[in-house]
Structure 1
Amino acid sequence: MLHVKSIPAFNDNYIWLIISEDNRCAVVDPGEASQVIDYLKANTLTLSCILITHHHWDHTNGIEELVRFAPSAQVIGPEIKPIPRLSMAVGDGDQIDVFDHRFLVVGVEGHTDDHIAFVGDGKLFCGDALFSAGCGRLLGGTAAQALNSLKKLASLPIETEVYCAHEYTAANVAFALTVEPENDDLHLYREEVNRLRAQEKQTLPSTIGREKRINPFLRIHEPSVIQAVSGRAQNNTELEVFRALRQWKDEF
């Protein structure tokens, strides 16, 4: 099993470090480098690769400094938009080796048109495509793309751990409860999230199973969600329900 360590960045980002038993390390979406380098040095870790889910600056700004620190580290990410120091371009269906573990690359366009996710060792690193109780805004992709991407992620095994790139959980739960005020799983989750945040602890990782119970964007087929957007959606198709839900969240 691989160990995952979080490095908080900016106001609410997480940079994820994937650490092998022999002290090799992969870094996911390094928006900044200094804290990552400090942790690598303090724990005698060798940086082997840098995994990038999409091109936004808060996921890529630390790449140059990290490559200067570890010149042999591969930078693996999408090809559609420019990624600094990219050494391996990957897309939907590709596979990569992270240490001795095979990871699948999943195309998850929607938040952006170049977004990918990495799945391996029972873990999903999904950037801004999926959040706990939410999903990313449409900042380059389409609603249809985002819906298709979330369906892909929802099809993963329910025990899959979800490592997304932002601590948005409390705000997302507030919106989700507006959509589904009678969802008992959501009420229980709100209590857990509030307790963790009061202790200044992270709410992640989540799991695919949990998200299917509490995340309205993975529950667009549920009568309660369809009813909640009935005054906003043009019809009850999955796409229109999703589109109405995403627009509602943008305004929330």
Structure 2
Amino acid sequence: MSSLGFNFPIGLLGCAFVTDLATRPMLKIEALPAFTDNYIWLLQDEAARTCAVVDPGDAAPVLAWLHAHPDWRLSTILVTHHHHDHVGGVQQLKAATGARVYGPAAENIPACDEALGDNQRIEVLGQDLRVIAVPGHTLGHIAYFHADAEQPWLLCGDTLFAAGCGRLFEGTAAQMFDSLQRLARAPDNTLIYCTHEYTQSNLRFAQAVEPNNPEIAERVREVAQWRAADRISLPTTLEIERATNPFLRSAIPAVREAAEQHCGSRLGSDVEVFATLRAWKDRF
């Protein structure tokens, strides 16, 4: 196993972990594939037989899971942003289950019961979640962070990806840079649950930026093995992202040098390096 923990145990449909053995039940997080590369995260309180879903762009995978588990109840729908592949199934799921819908206050989320702002706290399946405003991909995008002493985790939508970040459809490079810096202040062992299987394409770009980074090369090999075995590449951890994700590495001399070589000019700030990387990736 590498120092980055690239052999982090992960199952075909997600992983289970204990958040706080003294006070909280085991919480399982499972990936329900949707469309071509989306994941709808299914959070499960096995003791209460109650679950929550994150960004259900399609109701069908969730309804199929509930049909296969008739003794379970969907209580909560968490939404990170308004794009259709994240909200397309919300209304149908709410109508079928009566689940309570949470989403960003700054965006139009269908059937939303509670609009959330930065630093607001909610309780979902007995877990305390803090809302973090992360504009960039969209202007109102939010993430949900569970700060646990043993195993923190983050539901970050299309902001921070494994080895990448979301496109700038509405926000600016400076906004996305600041959003990623906020997320990067979480502990190294934070589990990162993003919503797309983009890891291999992101790693190809990361390797173009840092061809001599051995940790990127190792991650390329390991993720290729996982995908060949039909295993998902998520969750990742913040420690792995800091070592291999170019969008968290704007201050690294080798990354700055690659960005400057690509654009043909000197770059004054880390934000300019980030903006150059994002524009480069858009055309990669």
Normalised to the residue count of structure 1, the TM-score between the two structures is 0.97
* 1:28 lines up with 2:54 in the alignment: yes
Q: Which residue of structure 1 aligns with residue 9 of structure 2?
A: none
Q: Which residue of structure 2 aligns with residue 194 of structure 1?
A: 224
Question: One-letter code of the match for 2:133?
Answer: G
How many angstroms does 1:41 deviate by? 2.5
CA distance in 2, matches of 1:23, 1:180: 46
Q: Secondary structure at the match of 2:260?
A: coil
Aligned pair count? 251
Q: Secondary structure at the match of 1:47?
A: strand
Normalised to the residue count of structure 2, the TM-score between the two structures is 0.87
Specify every segment of 5 or more residues in structure 2 that has no aligned partner in the other structure, as ranges: 1-17, 19-26
CA distance in 2, matches of 1:128, 1:42: 29
* Pairing 1:1-252 to 2, within 5 Å after superposition: 1=18, 2-21=27-46, 22-43=48-69, 44-71=71-98, 73-120=99-146, 121=148, 122-231=152-261, 232=263, 235-252=267-284
1:179-211 CA-partner distances (Å, limit 9, x unpaired): 000111101100111001111110000000100
CA distance in 2, matches of 1:24, 1:117: 22
Q: Is the 8 A contact 1:234 1:240 kept in 2?
A: no
1:154-191 CA-partner distances (Å, limit 9, x unpaired): 11001010000000000000000000001111011001
How many angstroms does 1:105 deviate by? 0.5
Question: One-letter code of the match for 2:103?
Answer: G
CA RMSD of aligned residues (A): 1.0
More displaced stretch, 53-62 vs 225-234: 225-234
1:113-148 CA-partner distances (Å, limit 9, x unpaired): 010000115111100001000000000011111000
Question: One-letter code of the match for 2:259?
Answer: V
How many angstroms does 1:91 deviate by? 1.5
Q: Is the 8 A contact 1:226 1:236 kept in 2?
A: no
Question: One-letter code of the match for 2:120?
Answer: D
How many angstroms does 1:234 deviate by? 5.0
- Give the ranges of 4+ consecutive aligned residues of structure 1 lying more than 2 Å apart after TM superposition: none
Specify every segment of 5 or more residues in structure 1 that has no aligned partner in the other structure, as ranges: none
How many angstroms does 1:243 deviate by? 0.4
Q: Secondary structure at the match of 1:147?
A: helix
CA distance in 1, matches of 2:256, 2:230: 35
The share of aligned pairs that are identical, in percent, is 46
